[in-house]
Chain A
Amino acid sequence: MSLVIKGGTVVDETGTRTADVRIEDGTIVAVGESLTGDTTLDATGCIVSSGFVDLHTHLRQPGREEAETIETGSRAAALGGFTAVVAMPNTEPAIDSAGVVREVLDWGAKALCDVRPAGAITKGRAGKELAPLGEMADLGVRLFTDDGAGVQDSRLMRRALEYASALGVTLAQHCEDEGLASGGHMHEGEWSSRLGIPGIPAEAEELMVARDIALSRLTGAPVHFLHMSTARSIELIRAAKAEGLPVTAEAAPHHFTLTHAAIAGYDPVFKVNPPLRSDADVEAVRTGLADGTIDAIATDHAPHAQELKEAAFDEAPPGMLGLETCFALALQLGVPIERVLALLSWNPARIAGLTAEHGGPIAEGRPANLTVLDLAHAWTVEPERLASRSRNTPYAGWALQGRARHTVFRGEPVVVDMEATR
């Protein structure tokens, strides 16, 4: 059985060309003109790209299945053009041992995209003792983080980086100094003062960015910075890269499209960690994404059950959906499409250690993990129509442009004409 993606413009790191793509048994067997096959996916007027890789998704399983499951999250991912997601380990129980890794891999085996668990850096994400990084790495885990919290103890973080460097894995940090951040629920500044909500100063993030850059220098180990949100964080990373340190960074769409002014109505849908920041910070994130300081866009897709987001602002959990709106928002950056695809696919595939299967190039012999993108498609965000089990998107009612039309995962068309096939 063969599948042909017909009439599209193929874009990968080697260049751009009009070509059809023929797929058999999960592999690309031909890229060229006038190809035929048993099934056809029409790609007229569309870009054919390697599937997106999300470095930062919360799939909530095990523990919070009412908000999302690996299946429903993977469906949302596929609809968003993703063929791989890194599943964050702040589940219940945390992904801090081979046992839980195996469970997640098992559930992920039937998913609509590649589900790659990230492991916790510390046991239970408690920040006190190293988790068994080696036994998790043996199962293929390549990224480790205590996301949801940062590792507060500098000595422990140093040891973790040293230990990890022998395993060929990358530690990723949720940069948040608890001393400065504690008690805060939104960005500390003009809006938090006006609204009377305790604030989280930008420095709570920047302190840990600076510390981990120093630790990367000390240990020689790579560090990936999750959800960068402040102008000074980005300056620190720019300088670290200029120095040649092995650091990478990601930013989430909400940090380059929304500011703290959105909290004026006290709707907890806009509550997120790190919080929505100022105009200057948003501008710096956009610049960082354009100039290469920030390597990837990662959604930080964080589903929450409706009743949890219908609580008082202070009491609601932070987090927003992101998988299905990501691509359209990325297009709003106004950078060339090659840069958008680098941010969504080629770079995150490298950071996640998935280049064998994801992130291109689109060539004969490569695994068929692709997405067909309609850059012109106009649509409105309706929370009830999203594939996620939850509804907490800050973009409800937004008119967006750009959407994945088809997504092919290991040769299987999991999304056809913007609908999931299963």
Chain B
Amino acid sequence: MASHLLSVADLGADGLHELLDLTDSMIEVAERRIPKVPVLRGKTVVSLFYEDSTRTRLSFETAAKRLSADTMNFSVSTSSVKKGESLRDTVITIEAMGVDAIVVRHGSAGVPWQIADWVDASVINAGDGWHEHPTQALLDCYTIREKLGSLQDRHIAIVGDIKHSRVARSDVLAFTLLGAHVTLVAPPTLLPPSLEGWPVAVSHDLDSVLKTVDVVYLLRMQKERQTEALLPSLREYTALYGLTRERARLLGDDTLVMHPGPMNRGVEIAAEVADLPRSVITRQVANGVAVRSAVLFKLLGSEPTS
């Protein structure tokens, strides 16, 4: 019976802690002279990315190679999908070539769940539409834990386009599972239509929230939102919700600034703020590889290899 990582909710607090602890070992591997262990030798991990994403794809690929797994890339733009092959036929074909794990990113929510129904391989959700991005949430938790010791009772503000953000949805689940208090800060047009059942507070006043938080988590503001009548302009967004130099001065001494990348410097975050010592954005990226190695090991590593 294959196990998957589709949603943060599947893990629960215990599962989260287990993966974070496993990540410690993976960080240690990364720091060795030869950062490679043979635990997944002979296993094949395929990246099935229907959306462009060099960073996440490379992160998963590196993570797999550190564990000595073989990797394959299924690049949609050059593939038979352009010739009209259906989603189901694509994944069944990939599986027929003999893969142990499929890392999937798709523009539509739910695709990883559908794929998990059709294949025997392990399925890892690398981002499904607006819905979830579990490994991002894991690396975010790991980074906060690394810098602040624990998430229990910490105050975290997630700022920006929550409505369209799979990172926000996974982070809300993960941060609250680990005991943090989350406040969403966004204009009403960028919040989901219903926050029924979400364990969060909401604010439209970034300045007052900034004084109270241990972590400010910024989301990327896409230029397209302006044409969808969700914002009058990026300029106004930055004025009301951007982490400008002036706003950065409101933060507590130990407050972290985080971002899932890639950043729009000058929009959601001022260029110089991104480079402050409190900004752990590059640390997030480094942790990402170790977290993804932990996930692959948890799902595919079984009997110890000789």
A interface vs B, CB < 8 Å?
188-190, 192-199, 201, 265-267, 307, 310-315
Contact = CB atoms under 8 A, between A and B. Distances in A.
Contacts of A194: 197
Contacts of A267: 114
Given A197-B110, A311-B86, A192 B197 contact: no
A198 B230 CA distance: 14
Nearest to A196: B131
B193 A201 contact: yes
Nearest to A188: B193
A17 B102 CA distance: 64
Given A196-B169, A197-B130, A313 B192 contact: no
Given A307-B86, A310-B87, A310-B88, A193 B194 contact: yes
Given A196-B130, A196-B131, A307-B88, A313 B108 contact: yes
Contacts of A192: 192-194
Q: Please provide the 6 A-B residue pairs with the shortest distance between their CB atoms, ordered closest to farther.
A: A266-B110, A196-B131, A312-B108, A193-B192, A196-B130, A314-B108
A194 B106 CA distance: 17
Interface string B47-65: 0000000000000000000
B132 interface: yes
Interface residues of B, number: 26
17 contacts: A188-B194, A192-B192, A193-B196, A195-B109, A195-B110, A196-B129, A196-B169, A265-B110, A266-B110, A266-B114, A310-B87, A310-B88, A311-B88, A312-B106, A312-B111, A313-B111, A314-B129
Contact of A196 (B86, B166, B196, B198): B166
Contacts, number: 72
Interface of B: 86-89, 106-111, 113-114, 128-132, 166, 169, 192-198
B193 A313 contact: no
With a 10 A CB-CB cut-off, give which of B108, B131, B132, B192 has the most chain A CB atoms: B108
A328 B132 CA distance: 38
B110 A313 contact: yes
Nearest to A265: B113
Contacts of A190: 194, 196-197
Contacts of B109: 195-197, 266, 313-314
Given A196-B131, A266-B109, A266-B113, A311 B194 contact: no
A192 B110 CA distance: 12
Nearest to A312: B108
